[in-house]
Amino acid sequence: MYMPSTFHFSTIDQELLSTGTATRMLLACVLGGVIGLEREWRHKASGLRTNMLLCVGCAFFTLLSAVLAGESNPDKGRVASNIVQGIGFLGAGLILHTRDRVVGLTSAASIFVVASIGMACGAGLYVEATLVTAIVLIALLLVGSLEAQIGWKLYPLVYEVRGRDENTMFIAILSVLDRSGDRLNIVSRDSVATLQRVTFLIAANKKKHERLLAELRASDATDRVSVYRDYETE
C-alpha cells in the first residue's frame, strides 16, 4: 500500500517532534485539570479526568493535524476541524431535559471551551490557552455566585420537611407555597415509625428561599425543615 512520504518519520524527526509535544501535552493536561477540579467540586458528570483527557486529546489531534499534513500541504487543519463536531456530540450527551427544566447546559459549554483550550495548546498558543482558562474559571466560580447573591439567578434547593401528622404537615407546606406562588414538586415521601418526611424542589432566588425556609420552620405542623443543594444544577 502506498503511503505519502510525509507519513514516514525518522527517529530524529520523532525526537524533534516530541521535544515540543511534551510541553504542549503537559500544559493541556494541567489547564484541563484545573477546570476539571472546579467541575469535580460541583459534582458534575464532566469531572477531573474527563476534562484532562478531553483537553489532551484535542491538543494531540491539533498537533497531528499539522504534522500529518506536511510542510507542502496548506490544509493543516483538516483533522482539527473535525474536533468541533465530535465535541458537539459529547456535549449533547451531557444535556438532560426533565419534565420541568433543562440541566447540563453549563457542563456542555465548559467541555466545548476546554476543547478549544486543548487545541490552543496543541497549536503552541500557551499564553492564549492560559488566559482562556483563567476566564473560564472566573465565569464558573465567581459569576454564578455573584448572580445568586444579587438575586438575578433562580437556583433550585431541595427542601426536606419532617412532621408527625402527614395531613397537617402537607396543609402547612401547601399554605406556604400558595402564598409564594410556587407549585409543590414532590421528589420523594416516606415514613419512619411515626415520623413523616417529604422532599420537594423549589427554584427561587436567595431572598425567596430564606423567606420560604423561615415560614416552614415557623409552622407548628413541621418538626424539622432542612435544605440541600441540588447537584444537578449548574
Please state, in angstroms and rounded to a whole number, the distance separating the CA atoms of residues 136 and 121: 16
Q: Are residues 145 and 163 in the same domain?
A: no
Reported confidence tier of residue 3, pLDDT bands at 50, 70, 90: very low
Pair (25, 134) in one structural domain: yes
How would you label 157-194 residue by residue, b for 16+ Cβ within 10 Å and e otherwise?
bbbebbbeeeeebbebbeebbeeeebeebeeeeeeeee
Give the range of the structural domain holding residue 184, as residue numbers without chain letter.
155-229
Which residue blocks in the chain are alpha helix, DSSP H? 11-41, 48-69, 78-94, 105-122, 126-138, 144-150, 166-180, 206-218
Q: Could you tell me if 72 and 170 lie in one domain?
A: no
* % of the chain surpassing 90 pLDDT: 34
The reported pLDDT for the residue numbered 142 is 84
Instruction: Compute the mean pLDDT over every residue in the chain, rounded to the nearest whole number.
Output: 82
Is residue 162 domain-resident?
yes
Digit-coded pLDDT (tens) for 59-89: 988 888 877 666 666 666 677 778 888 888 8
Query: At residue 7, does pLDDT exceed 60?
Result: no
**Residue-wise pLDDT tens digits, 92-124:** 777 776 655 667 788 888 999 999 999 999 888
Torsion angle of C-alpha atoms 53, 58, 61, 62, degrees rounded to 10? -150
Same domain, yes or no: 103 and 173: no
Distance separating alpha carbons of residues 75 and 63, to the nearest angstrom: 13
188 in the same domain as 112:
no
pLDDT on residue 14: 56
Residues 53 and 111 in one domain: yes
Q: Which residue has the higher pLDDT, 54 or 15?
A: 54
Number of domains in the chain: 2
DSSP state at residue 85: H
Residue 208 above 80 pLDDT?
A: yes
Of residues 223 and 4, the one with the higher pLDDT is: 223
H or E stretch covering 153:
none
Q: What is the CATH number of the domain that holds 175?
A: 3.30.70.260
Shared-domain flag, residues 93 and 163? no
Same domain, 141 and 159: no
Q: Domain end: 150, 181, 215, which one?
A: 150
* Mean pLDDT score, 20-46: 88
Evaluate whether residue 3 is within a structural domain. no
Q: Is residue 234 part of a domain?
A: no
Question: Same domain, yes or no, for 78 and 142?
Answer: yes
Identify the three-state secondary structure at position 220.
coil
